[in-house]
């Protein structure tokens, strides 16, 4: 019974495999990578490595052979139309390989989004359903990394967090929390044909972000709304649902989700 994971060499893939090793022996895990050299550290830990490139359909069926569970980590390609083709190739190959259970890292609350990526994730979910293979959709919330675009270190230096005006709310979470929950699902039972919205259980605001920054910096940081801000992130954020929340992540973790203060620490230099 093998658990096959695509995108294993990426940031999320590595974290999922680290967590999975706490639940299952290394010889049950297959790490799929595009290039042999990015799989060396898995082999050293007793994990099988197979070559899998979403753009090379011939590589996929072999990579997925014997998979009782296959985790497709969504492609990072910047063009969602190309991502759709890549995912379709994975889906077709999974069907031909007779994968037992298909798990997919989707995006949280995609029905509420208008961004191309919302359509891509919904289309991939539908594609997976066409195979008839039992599925689990792990709808990841916005990675906490987006705070990296908000100039948090400048906010600390100036005592002022500048943000674009609006009623912004964020359900974002750390990759590590997501990886821990996904590993629990991959190694657990009873998750067939389920959809999990892996978000924070309560959404936070920019005011709460300023308060968390103040705590970490040990000095007051005020919130300043500025409609002159030029930052691509706001147009992206306005096209996805960052405010809806769910208790699914907390439940799968079996512990509280990381706090805002803990989660932003890696993005500030203190």
Minimum gap (Å) between residue 31 Cβ and ligand NAP: 9
Taking Cα atoms as reference points, which of 198, 188, 197, 195 lies closest to residue 69?
188
Site for ligand NAP in 143-182 (CB under 6 A): 143
Minimum gap (Å) between residue 13 Cβ and ligand NAP: 5
> What CA–CA distance (Å, rounded) separates 30 from 177?
22
Contact with ligand NAP (CB under 6 A) among 2, 3, 5, 7: 7
H helix and E strand count, the chain: 11, 9
Minimum gap (Å) between residue 206 Cβ and ligand NAP: 18
> What CA–CA distance (Å, rounded) separates 134 from 169?
34
* 267 lines the binding site for ligand NAP (CB under 6 A): no
* 109 lines the binding site for ligand NAP (CB under 6 A): no
Minimum gap (Å) between residue 80 Cβ and ligand NAP: 10
Minimum gap (Å) between residue 254 Cβ and ligand NAP: 22
* 140 lines the binding site for ligand NAP (CB under 6 A): yes
DSSP sequence for 163-228: E-SS---B--B-HHHHHHHHHHHHHSSS-TTEEEEES-SS-B-HHHHHHHHHHHHTS--EEEE-TT
* 156/186 with CB nearer ligand NAP: 186
Site for ligand NAP in 214-253 (CB under 6 A): none
> What CA–CA distance (Å, rounded) separates 91 from 124?
8
- 265, 259 contact by CB (below 8 A): no
Minimum gap (Å) between residue 219 Cβ and ligand NAP: 30
- 174, 145 contact by CB (below 8 A): no
Which residue of the chain is nearest ligand NAP when measured via CB? Answer: 10
* 69/175 with CB nearer ligand NAP: 175
Backbone angles phi, psi at 71, to 5 degrees: -105, 115
> What CA–CA distance (Å, rounded) separates 223 from 238?
20
* 34 lines the binding site for ligand NAP (CB under 6 A): yes
The tally of CA atoms less than 13 A away on the side-chain side of residue 212 is: 18
Contact with ligand NAP (CB under 6 A) among 10, 116, 134, 159: 10
Minimum gap (Å) between residue 82 Cβ and ligand NAP: 9
Q: Computed over its alpha carbons, how large is the radius of gyration of the chain?
A: 19
* 74/245 with CB nearer ligand NAP: 74
CA–chain centroid gap for 117, Å, is 13
Contact with ligand NAP (CB under 6 A) among 3, 4, 5, 12: 12
* 35 lines the binding site for ligand NAP (CB under 6 A): yes
> What CA–CA distance (Å, rounded) separates 20 from 182?
9
Site for ligand NAP in 42-101 (CB under 6 A): 52-55, 73-76, 86
Residue numbers at the binding site for ligand NAP (CB under 6 A): 6-7, 9-13, 34-35, 38, 52-55, 73-76, 86, 105, 107, 140, 142-143
């Amino acid at each position: 019974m093998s658990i096959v994971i695509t995108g294993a060499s990426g940031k999320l893939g590595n974290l999922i495999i680290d967590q999975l090793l706490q639940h299952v022996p290394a010889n049950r895990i297959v790490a799929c990578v595009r290039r042999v050299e990015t799989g060396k550290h898995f082999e050293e830990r007793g994990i099988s490595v197979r070559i899998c490139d979403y753009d090379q359909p011939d590589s996929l069926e072999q990579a997925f052979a014997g998979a009782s569970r296959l985790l497709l980590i969504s492609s990072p390609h910047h063009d969602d139309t190309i991502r759709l083709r890549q995912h379709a190739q994975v889906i077709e190959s999974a069907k031909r390989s007779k994968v037992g259970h298909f798990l997919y890292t989707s995006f949280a609350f995609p029905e509420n989004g208008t961004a191309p990526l919302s359509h891509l994730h919904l289309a991939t979910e539908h594609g997976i359903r066409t195979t008839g293979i039992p599925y689990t959709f792990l709808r990841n919330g916005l990675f906490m990394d987006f705070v990296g675009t908000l100039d948090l270190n400048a906010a600390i230096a100036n005592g002022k967090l500048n943000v674009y005006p609006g009623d912004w709310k964020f359900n974002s979470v750390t990759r590590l929390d997501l990886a821990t929950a996904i590993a629990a699902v991959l190694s657990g039972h009873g998750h067939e044909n389920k959809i999990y919205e892996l978000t924070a259980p309560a959404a936070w605001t920019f005011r709460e972000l300023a308060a968390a920054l103040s705590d970490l910096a040990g000095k007051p940081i005020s919130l300043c709304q500025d409609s002159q801000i030029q930052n691509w992130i706001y147009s992206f954020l306005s096209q996805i649902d960052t405010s809806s929340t769910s208790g699914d992540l907390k439940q799968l973790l079996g512990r509280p989700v990381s706090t805002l203060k803990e989660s932003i620490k890696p993005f500030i230099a203190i």
